[in-house]
Amino acid sequence: MKRGLPIGPLAVIFLSGALAACSTLPFPVQGSDAAVAEATAKQADVLPRLQPYAFGLCYSPVVNEDAEIEEEAAYQCDGGRLIRQDEDFFWNECSLSQPHRVSYVCFPPDKAKRRITIQPAPQPQ
């Protein structure tokens, strides 16, 4: 009679630990060539802090909702204007667990523009 745990439960424990280390959140990578080209074309005559840039997000339609992907894109763009450029599948910079990549062009917000409220000077009485 053999003693100890059979191989099956050990394999399940090992695989569940390995899969727990995988992220299920969308994660940023370099955008597609088309998104990078679009961002580069729009950079002329724009202040450096306002120059658009491209980025991609890797995700899996099995575990990620569309709203979750859009929320991460807005976070990566710091609240600026986003243009969804394209989407590709495999042979990109994404992992096998999240093989889809959606690419965006981000136009950063102009944080230098602030609303200034001028209060009237108090009137002498």
Question: SS3 for 26-57, per residue?
Answer: CEEECCCHHHHHHHHHCCCCCCHHHCCEEEEE
Q: Check whether 124 has a pLDDT greater than 90.
A: no
Q: Check whether 17 has a pLDDT greater than 50.
A: no
Q: Check whether 16 has a pLDDT greater than 60.
A: no
Residue showing tokens 């981000």: 106
pLDDT tens-digit profile of 48-97?
Answer: 889 999 999 999 999 999 999 999 999 999 989 999 999 999 889 899 99
Residue 29 token pair: 């990578």
Residue showing tokens 């609303």: 115
Averaged pLDDT score across all residues of the chain: 83
86 neighbors 54 (Cβ within 8 angstroms): no
Query: Please, which pLDDT band fits residue 37 given cuts at 50, 70 and 90?
Result: very high
Q: List, in order, residues 6 or more apart from 46 with CB less than 8 Å away.
A: 52
Q: What is the pTM of this model?
A: 0.70
